Structure 1
Amino acid sequence: MREQSQIHYCNLPEMPRRAFAMAMNPSRMEAIIMLEKKWVNGTKLKYFLFNDDSFFTTAIDSGGNQVKIPWKGSSGEKEVVRNAFKKWKNQGIGLEFEETTDRLEAHVRIGFAKGEGSWSYVGRDSWDIPKEQRTMNFGWDILDDQDTVLHEIGHAMGFPHEHQNPNAGIVWNEEAVYTALAAPPNSWSREKTFHNIIRKIEPDAVQGSSWDPNSIMHYPFGPGLITAPSEYANGLFPEDGLSARDIAWVQQFYPKMDKRTFLELKPFHSEIISLDVGGQINLEFKPEETRTYTISTFGTMDTVMILSEEINGENVYLSGDDDSGEDRNSYIKLKLIKGKKYIVNIRLYYKESTGDTCVMLW
């Protein structure tokens, strides 16, 4: 059994909580919160691995000297990261992962700054992070620690910490937790410990109604930190690798894509959106003339809509809109080129009524 002093923890960046501009029913709010950080299925998440001395953190060492902590990783560390992305992809999911050497086109920018902890932004939070900044970091040796890498990639796909699941029923020995995390190797403040461990995340943000103590998104905990459930009083150590529930949930949120099921989007023709919450409709469009087109959803629903151009078999993002929590519909207006192929992905957060909802291009 590992000693608590040997356990490193992931430190999630704090992000502002979403503020809803209007009062809404709890079911609608629940659906939006659960899905807001997830990517549209079929997205190709491009990741960049810092690999030279151009990017670093400036810090002060114990002797009062200014030092540079490089963000670049070793060849071995980078290979561990590549293999972890392959592990997630091998679960038969619709998300794609591709390494890029162009930092400016990367959704996920990964550093290896030692001593700065391991962390990642959650899902689409990384979209708005400036391109010169990291969206993920590995702060200790990961050569024999693929679980940490799988964990951080899970965050990048939009999954929160499982030990903060309010359905877990965990009762903490809070002062023992604060004391343990204040000590090396984490050396956390009480505020950081509360944010990453003791705080319960919103019930609407978790997957399902049960708790998975073996999830890759769950921290291990040494003896004396958990008061209840009593069977974990002597420690909770998740099994290695992805749990069966991890695999089930990633397959549910990101099912394997079948392009044979894509629908043709025709000008001035309304395509009915008949989806369950979390479902997605995928459409193709080849313009017969070059001009500015408008694509919009209709009906009382919350959606995120993405427009991409297919280039050499790859969907290249052009524009997107997210109307969730607002009194409007998703809307994109853009010049499209004759003969090119465009993909429209629409993911449903919430549908207010049983009436028809649709998407139209004109």
Structure 2
Amino acid sequence: MQWPDDAAAYAAAINENPANAQSGSGSRRKRSLINYSKLWANGRTLTIAFIDNPDPDHKRMIMEAAVRWIPYINLSFEFVDDTQGDIRIATKNNFNSSMLGTDALLIHPDWPTMNLGVKPDHEDFETIVTHEFGHALGAMHEHQHPKANIPWDKPKVYDYYQNREMGPLTPAQVDFNLFTPFDTIEAVYTDYDRKSIMHHPVSNDLTVGDWENPINHAISSKDIKMMSLLYPK
């Protein structure tokens, strides 16, 4: 999820981290699938709040998945007991989403910046939480890498997301989250990484020919390189 007003998103990002202003002038050498204009200030502590009081085990499981990123970034996470934080998590919706990086700063302080509707007993719970926290740190979807060239069967994809159990997506939402490549001056990238935890699983049923990608449960070596370049210690 990205804030729809680009000017406001840019202003919030620069206020948070003046280095974000360099996104179009030389910082492409960092080469990662990241929107530079939405990175948190390096070295800072992000406060993380739960706004709908999940039970202690549920909360603990989210925290354990989130901190999988910590060894690779020069940021700290502080999980706070009140409902106010830089990142605010709601767990009782029926979908999973996160604002991209510093776009979270533009959300009303009483509203969530991240939704984790996935249930603790879901087989991919840890993977989904880690993926959403990747977005919260500024990482985009790897399947939208400009070199991915996934042979989508678009009519089948639209139909699948219109009827999925977790709630429908409109064709415009599918285009934004699956098909539109991040090939703008703000998006810089390494080589395409099919093993990235930021890559959605792709079913053979939704592509033309013989092309699929499983769900990636682990943070990949390129994910690690990406985060260590963007938030260097």
TM-score by length of 1: 0.54
Map of 1:100 onto structure 2: 80
| Equivalent residues in 2 for 1:73-112, closer than 5 Å | 73-91=54-72, 93-104=73-84, 106-112=85-91
Asked whether the equivalents of residues 43 and 96 of structure 1 are also in contact (C-alpha less than 8 Å), the reply is yes
Distance 1:86 1:30 in 2: 27
Give structure 1 stretches of 5+ with no counterpart.
1-11, 21-25, 51-70, 257-362
- Does residue 155 of the first structure (1) align with residue 152 of the second (2)? no
Letter in 2 for 1:239: N
Asked whether the equivalents of residues 49 and 89 of structure 2 are also in contact (C-alpha less than 8 Å), the reply is yes
Distance 1:242 1:208 in 2: 16
Asked whether the equivalents of residues 30 and 204 of structure 1 are also in contact (C-alpha less than 8 Å), the reply is no
Letter in 2 for 1:241: A
Asked whether the equivalents of residues 142 and 149 of structure 1 are also in contact (C-alpha less than 8 Å), the reply is no
Per-residue CA deviations over 1:303-361 (Å, capped at 9, x if unaligned) read: xxxxxxxxxxxxxxxxxxxxxxxxxxxxxxxxxxxxxxxxxxxxxxxxxxxxxxxxxxx
Would you identify which runs of 4 or more consecutive aligned residues in structure 1 move more than 6 Å? none
Map of 1:28 onto structure 2: 25
Higher strand proportion (structure 1 or 2)? 1
Asked whether the equivalents of residues 46 and 97 of structure 1 are also in contact (C-alpha less than 8 Å), the reply is yes
Asked whether the equivalents of residues 142 and 148 of structure 1 are also in contact (C-alpha less than 8 Å), the reply is no
Match of 2:169 among 188, 197, 215: 188
- Does residue 44 of the first structure (1) align with residue 45 of the second (2)? yes
Asked whether the equivalents of residues 199 and 216 of structure 2 are also in contact (C-alpha less than 8 Å), the reply is no
| Equivalent residues in 2 for 1:341-352, closer than 5 Å | none
Shift of 1:207: 4.1
- Match of 1:224, SS state, is helix
Letter in 2 for 1:138: L
When residues 89 and 184 of structure 1 are mapped into structure 2, their CA distance, relative to the original with a 3 A threshold, is same
- Match of 2:205, SS state, is coil
- Does residue 136 of the first structure (1) align with residue 91 of the second (2)? no
When residues 27 and 192 of structure 1 are mapped into structure 2, their CA distance, relative to the original with a 3 A threshold, is closer
Distance 2:6 2:153 in 1: 27
Distance 2:47 2:184 in 1: 30
Asked whether the equivalents of residues 41 and 94 of structure 1 are also in contact (C-alpha less than 8 Å), the reply is yes
Shift of 1:102: 3.2
Match of 1:248 among 215, 222, 225: 225
| Equivalent residues in 2 for 1:111-122, closer than 5 Å | 111-115=90-94, 117-122=95-100
Letter in 1 for 2:217: D
Shift of 1:27: 4.7
When residues 95 and 168 of structure 1 are mapped into structure 2, their CA distance, relative to the original with a 3 A threshold, is same
Shift of 1:209: 4.0
Distance 1:27 1:138 in 2: 33
Q: Which structure's CA Rg is the greater one?
A: 1
Per-residue CA deviations over 1:24-55 (Å, capped at 9, x if unaligned) read: xx953986x841101111010100012xxxxx
Shift of 1:231: 5.1
Higher helix proportion (structure 1 or 2)? 2
Distance 1:15 1:29 in 2: 26
Asked whether the equivalents of residues 35 and 140 of structure 2 are also in contact (C-alpha less than 8 Å), the reply is no
Distance 2:69 2:138 in 1: 13
Aligned length: 212
Map of 2:145 onto structure 1: 165
Moved more, 132-141 or 81-90: 81-90
- Match of 2:38, SS state, is coil
Determine which structure has greater relative contact order: mean sequence separation of CA pairs < 8 Å that are 6+ residues apart, divided by chain length.
2
Asked whether the equivalents of residues 36 and 187 of structure 2 are also in contact (C-alpha less than 8 Å), the reply is no
- Match of 1:90, SS state, is helix
Give structure 2 stretches of 5+ with no counterpart.
11-22, 29-33
Asked whether the equivalents of residues 215 and 238 of structure 1 are also in contact (C-alpha less than 8 Å), the reply is no
When residues 136 and 27 of structure 1 are mapped into structure 2, their CA distance, relative to the original with a 3 A threshold, is closer
Identical positions, percent: 26
Asked whether the equivalents of residues 162 and 168 of structure 2 are also in contact (C-alpha less than 8 Å), the reply is yes
- Match of 2:78, SS state, is strand
When residues 165 and 87 of structure 1 are mapped into structure 2, their CA distance, relative to the original with a 3 A threshold, is same
